[in-house]
Amino acid sequence: MADYQAHLESLAALDVGVVACSTDPLDKAQETVAALGLTFPVGYGLRVPEDAERLGAAWEEERGIIQPSEFLLDGRGRILHSTYSSGPVGRIRAEDLQRLVQFLERKRGG
């Protein structure tokens, strides 16, 4: 999340907003927001396995976590790109997302 915070202005210049969600309870999510200085919305309290199943994401019952799942949505909420991980490796970096958005814009002629 710190990576996205560091690139928030350049993402906004591409008309990209950032929202994060977590299985953490409110107090833990607030600690993360404060520790990382996050200014974008961070949801909390996602449920395992219910919300993981809705996302189609990998999850761990023992630790009660949902593995990273990232979505690029268009203005109507349609998924343009998704990334699913089955472990801690595989998150899409903010710079890669910027390149993806620029590629998609060029592809559609915008």
Domain 2-107 is found in CATH 2.60.40.1120:
no
The model's pLDDT over 16-51, given as tens digits with 9 standing for 90+, comes to 999 999 999 999 999 999 999 999 999 999 999 999
| Rounded Cα gap, residues 33 and 55, in angstroms | 23
Handedness of CA 85, 88, 90, 93 (dihedral sign): positive
What are the domain boundaries of the chain?
2-107
Model pLDDT for residues 72-106, shown as the tens digit of each residue: 999 999 999 999 998 878 889 999 999 999 999 99
Give pLDDT tens digits for 42-55: 999 999 999 999 99
Global pTM reads: 0.89
Per-residue confidence (pLDDT) for residue 10, from 0 to 100: 97
pLDDT above 80 (res 110): no
**CA atoms of 15 and 72, how far apart (whole Å):** 12
The whole-number pLDDT of residue 41 equals: 98
Q: Rounded to whole angstroms, how far apart are CA atoms 61 and 39?
A: 30
